Structure 1
């Protein structure tokens, strides 16, 4: 969602991407009103393969479109861990699976099959995106070019500031902001007893 919002180009975008990320019957029904089954491909994405919301949405889609088991491989692709429950289900049903690397956590998987496969299906240049990400990584971690970023990182990690502010002055970054908030909350918002971690 974050990548789609940032990269969206109305002129060049040939396919629509709808994202069902919760089990709200209202948003589910509103989204499905816009979808023609014969023109659609559904990507079921869960790292563990057992995320209850994702499994529920998969079952709701089957029920809504009254699909037979033999038809599922025509309309669905799974993106998950190798040997996960979802992968095994995909093998049983003949559904194509793309895998998330073992060493990549779900919330960090935006540049894995989780983000790249949907972008490719929508006609985006995923190769250019990955090359740009690689160049950023090399500039920062290998060539040590970004002194300002390094100083900001050092300052943030060596001060006891408890407030983190992210400003984005474009609607295109709304999805990114939501992802960033989720990332911070899930990664650093945990507690051990009464002590907050992070």
Structure 2
């Protein structure tokens, strides 16, 4: 895992980070690292997330899902951190087992998906720490009903990932369903390297030990200096650029398989750091696609953004056939990978030429080990940035407000937040 901060320095970019400012920030990084290590050693809530490469039991996960070895499809029912990590791995890695995710309650999408897959060949994983998440439980009830309508015994094809108590735990005990424990002290958005994110990968036949090994390699590089740790270097750069006006961070991977990774990052960054009027706004982009849609803004719009490039340096390639089409002869005999690399380098240089800051993150390959490195690096970067911002990284009070309001509207209790909905101001033009 490599992080290049060169195009984030003030010699290139505006806003940019003076080199001596990084040296000064390194003293704060040392203090933050000490706090992080204390939290890890004491297994404190949130900090425990960074211990997952060591504490996750891969054998336990494989044992729990071994009865689904013949599944042709795996359907994860969860929302937010209960789905995005698993989806990042599923979409980043190739498998003969299809993976789908019900992480929204759009009725047309849910109905369409359930109609399109063979439920008799599908393993269903229901993921909710509390066992009471409204969207997850509602979608699961729809899945269960669809299975029953198709004559499928849902109890033979369902397992749960949940906390020690709650509706899902009770359901698992009542119907003798396989159950995995959600790890203590790990917020959902930090749970990809646990039972939450790895069960789907195990069913798909991926090497979850390699995912954890990649993550552990990055954990071993955490140190008291940003100059020795890619994770801390990236977290520090994001914080420093935000402090200088780059309040928007566009995550732009140059690999189609990492598109869902950008979604995972957006939740991690927004939910963890967006507090007390602080935090960068994450934006999702995809190279080279969004060179033709978003790059105009990033290069020539307001100077309030940084771009994070993520790319693998090795990949399978595809040849471009020779052509006699006028003006396109130069493409013949090249490879798509060569073209994508040229697109990446041109975009990076384009931003630098216009003094827009960017940071480059590189892994060797989009494989289990590389994804483990990347996911852990971003989690540790986020925790480090939270220390520098001095925010409570591992809570999400604004999210909980909306949950209470929605539950009150549905008759699930008496919540003051629901009353606020009736106070909406209107200015309707028809």
Q: 1:30 aligns with which of 97, 109, 112?
A: 112
SS of aligned partner of 2:185: coil
Secondary structure, aligned partner of 1:44: strand
Matched, 1:53 2:135: yes
Q: Which residue of 2 aligns with 1:63?
A: 145
Gaps of 5+ in 1: none
1: CA distance, partners of 2:250 / 2:239: 15
What is residue 112 of structure 1 aligned with on the other side? 194
Equivalent residues of 2:147, 2:153 under 8 A apart: no
User: How high is the TM-score relative to the length of structure 2?
Assistant: 0.41
Give, in whole Å, the separation in 2 of the partners of 1:178 and 1:66.
33
Deviation at 1:158, TM superposition (A): 4.8
2 CA distance for matches of 1:59 and 1:78? 13
CA–CA distance in structure 1, aligned partners of residues 157 and 227 of structure 2: 45
- CA contact 2:193–2:212 (8 Å) conserved in 1: yes
Indicate whether 1:167 and 2:252 are aligned. yes
Q: 1:151: how far off?
A: 3.8
Instruction: Return the offset for 1:197.
Output: 4.5
Q: Structure 2 unaligned segments of length 5 or more: list them.
A: 1-86, 280-430
Question: Does the 8 Å CA contact 1:140/1:146 hold for their aligned counterparts?
Answer: yes
Q: Which residue of 2 aligns with 1:178?
A: 263
Of 115, 125, 128, 2:207 maps to 125
Contact (CA 8 Å) 1:73, 1:96: kept in 2 or not? no
2:180 maps to 98
Q: Over alpha carbons, which structure has the higher Rg?
A: 2
- Separation in structure 2 between the aligned mates of residue 74 and residue 129 of structure 1, nearest angstrom: 28
d(CA) in 2 for partners of 1:57, 1:187: 26
Match of residue 44 from structure 1: 126
CA RMSD of aligned residues (A): 2.6
